[in-house]
Structure 1
Amino acid sequence: MKKKTLGLVHTSATLVPIFQELCKKHIPSVDTFNIADDSLIKDVIAKGELTPATARRVVEHVGSAAAAGADYILVTCSSIGKAVEAAAELTGVPVLRVDQPMADQAVAAGTRIGVIATLPTTLGPTADLVVRRAAIAGKKIELVESLCEGAFEALMSGDAATHDQKVADALKSLAKEVDVILLAQASMARVVDTLSPEDRRTPIFASPPIAMEYLSQILRS
C-alpha cells in the first residue's frame, strides 16, 4: 500500500520545525513536505485584511501542494482561513485550515467561548470560524473576543517578555468570563505553560496539536 502524504502550507518558516515534531508524534507513518511563504502573512498584516490578490496566491500554493502529490493538505495559518476554504473547493484532495478542529472542539466543550489574539487580522477570522462552526453544529454560543494590544509589536521588536506578560494578563482576565479559550495564534501557546494551575482551570486550546490529533484519525483510516 502506498504511503499517504501530507502537504503543509505555512506563512512562516518558523512553523516548519514545530509541525515536523507534531507530525513525528501523531502521524509517523505519513510522508510530509512543506511550502512556506512569509510574504502572505506580511501582506495581510500590512493591509489589515486578506485581500483577493493574496487569497489567490494561497489558492495557488494549495494547488501546488496537490500537484506535488499530497493526499491531504494542512494550511497552518489562521489569518488566511477564508482563502483556505476557497482553495478546498477548488482542490482535488482534502484541505484543512489549522483552526477548524480547535473550533469544533471548543463548540462541543462550552457555551461561552473566548478567542484571544495579538493581531486583529487573526482574531477576526478565528472568531468568525467559531460562529460558523457553532451554526453548523446547531449550537447557540456566546463569543468573547480579546485582543492583546501591543503584544505583537513587542514580540516583533524583540521584547518577548512584554509580549508574554500581556498575553498572560489577558488569559487570566478572559478565563474568568468563559467556559473555554481558543488561542488564535499558536505563538501564544508557550505562555499557557507559565500560568499557575489556578489560572489554567479554564481549558485553553491551541490549534496545532488539536489539528494533528484530528489528522492522525483521518490519515490512519
Structure 2
Amino acid sequence: MTGPARRLGLVHTVPALAPVFHDLILDAAGQLDVAVELIHLTDPWLLHAAMSAGVTPDVLVRLDSHVAHLRSQGAAGILVTCSSLGEATEEIPAAHSGTPVIRIDQAMADHAVELAGDNGRIAVLATVDSTIGPTVRLLRRSGTQAGMAMSIETETLTAAGQARAAGDDQRHDALVVQAAVRWAVPERADVVVLAQASMAHLADEVADAGRVAVVSSPRLAVGRLLARRHV
C-alpha cells in the first residue's frame, strides 16, 4: 500500500458491528491500495435513547462529543453506523466541517432510488421503529434530488428485533429473511431496503430467494467514506 495510513473514525451503537465494519473497511481499502488506521467508538446508550424518546438534544450533544473526540484523535473521516441516528448525524455542528461525517444510509438510499427508477416501489424493512421514519425521509429526499417519484411501504419486524435483543440471532435472521422474501417479488416492490446494518448480512440470501433488487448500507457507506477527497 502506498502513502501514510489514513485515520478513520467510526461511531457504533451496536457493539457487534464494530468488527464487521473493521473488516469491511480493511478489505475495501486493500482493493484501493490505501492504508488505513481505524478508531472505533461504541455507545449503545445512543440507540436506546433514540428508540425510547427519539433524537433528543441529549442524543445530539453526546453524538457531537464522540465526533469531536474522534476528530481530536486525527480522524480524517467519520462514519456513524447507526441508521436511527442518520438525521442526527447531519446535524453535527459546522465546527466539524473540516472532517466528513457520513451517515450510514445515504449511499444506500441513493442506490435504492436509482435501482427503483421513476415511479418505482421501495419496501423498507427494519426491526425497530426508530429506523423507519429517518429512512423513509431520506429515500424521499434522494428521490427528489434525482427528480424521481416513488412509492414507499414499510414494515417493522418487531419480533425479529426482540429476538436479537434476547441474543437469539438465529431467530432474528430467520424472521428477517422470511419477511423480506415476501416483499422481494415484482408484484409488491421493485427494491427491498434492509434498513439496518445489522440486517445487511442477509441481503444476498434474500436476493437469491426473491426476484427484485435488495440493498443494505454497510458496503455502500464504506465505499462513500473511502471515496471522499478529504479522506
Same fold, TM-score > 0.5, yes or no = yes
Task: Tell me which residue corresponds to 2:52.
Answer: 46
Aligned residues: CA RMSD: 2.0
Q: Which whole-Å CA distance do the structure 2 matches of 1:106 and 1:34 have between them?
A: 28
Q: Which whole-Å CA distance do the structure 1 matches of 2:207 and 2:191 have between them?
A: 16
Deviations 1:177-215 (A, max 9, x none): 11111111122223344447342x311111111111223
Task: Tell me which residue corresponds to 1:6.
Answer: 8
Q: Which whole-Å CA distance do the structure 1 matches of 2:197 and 2:27 have between them?
A: 17
- Percent identity between the aligned chains? 36
Report how far residue 162 of structure 1 moved.
3.0
Task: Tell me which residue corresponds to 1:16.
Answer: 18
The residue type equivalent to 2:158 in the other structure is E
Matched, 1:102 2:108: yes
Q: Which whole-Å CA distance do the structure 1 matches of 2:93 and 2:189 have between them?
A: 32
The residue type equivalent to 2:65 in the other structure is E
The residue type equivalent to 2:191 in the other structure is V
Change in CA separation of 1:109 and 1:57 when aligned onto 2, cut-off 3 Å = same
Of the candidates 142, 149, 162, which is equivalent to residue 133 of structure 1?
Answer: 142
1:58-137 map, 5 Å: 58-87=63-92, 89-91=94-96, 92-110=98-116, 111-137=120-146
Q: Which whole-Å CA distance do the structure 1 matches of 2:17 and 2:24 have between them?
A: 11
Structure 1 unaligned regions, length at least 5? none
Matched, 1:180 2:197: no
The residue type equivalent to 2:83 in the other structure is S
Contact 1:103 1:129 (C-alpha < 8 Å) held by counterparts: yes
Task: Tell me which residue corresponds to 2:200.
Answer: 189
With structure 1 as the length reference, what TM-score do the two structures score? 0.90
Q: Which whole-Å CA distance do the structure 2 matches of 1:196 and 1:43 have between them?
A: 33
With structure 2 as the length reference, what TM-score do the two structures score? 0.86
Q: Which whole-Å CA distance do the structure 2 matches of 1:203 and 1:52 have between them?
A: 37
Q: Which whole-Å CA distance do the structure 2 matches of 1:158 and 1:15 have between them?
A: 14
Higher mean Cα deviation, 54-63 or 87-96?
87-96
Report how far residue 68 of structure 1 moved.
1.3
Higher mean Cα deviation, 21-30 or 98-107?
21-30
The residue type equivalent to 1:213 in the other structure is G
Higher mean Cα deviation, 15-24 or 87-96?
87-96
Report how far residue 74 of structure 1 moved.
0.8
Structure 2 unaligned regions, length at least 5? none
Deviations 1:141-178 (A, max 9, x none): 11111211321112222333332232122101211211
Aligned pairs, number = 219
The residue type equivalent to 1:87 in the other structure is I
Partner SS state of residue 121, structure 1:
helix
Task: Tell me which residue corresponds to 2:180.
Answer: 171
Q: Which whole-Å CA distance do the structure 1 matches of 2:144 and 2:57 have between them?
A: 26
The residue type equivalent to 2:18 in the other structure is V
Task: Tell me which residue corresponds to 2:227.
Answer: 217
The residue type equivalent to 1:26 in the other structure is A
Task: Tell me which residue corresponds to 1:26.
Answer: 28
The residue type equivalent to 2:70 in the other structure is A
Q: Which whole-Å CA distance do the structure 2 matches of 1:16 and 1:159 have between them?
A: 19
Contact 2:102 2:225 (C-alpha < 8 Å) held by counterparts: no
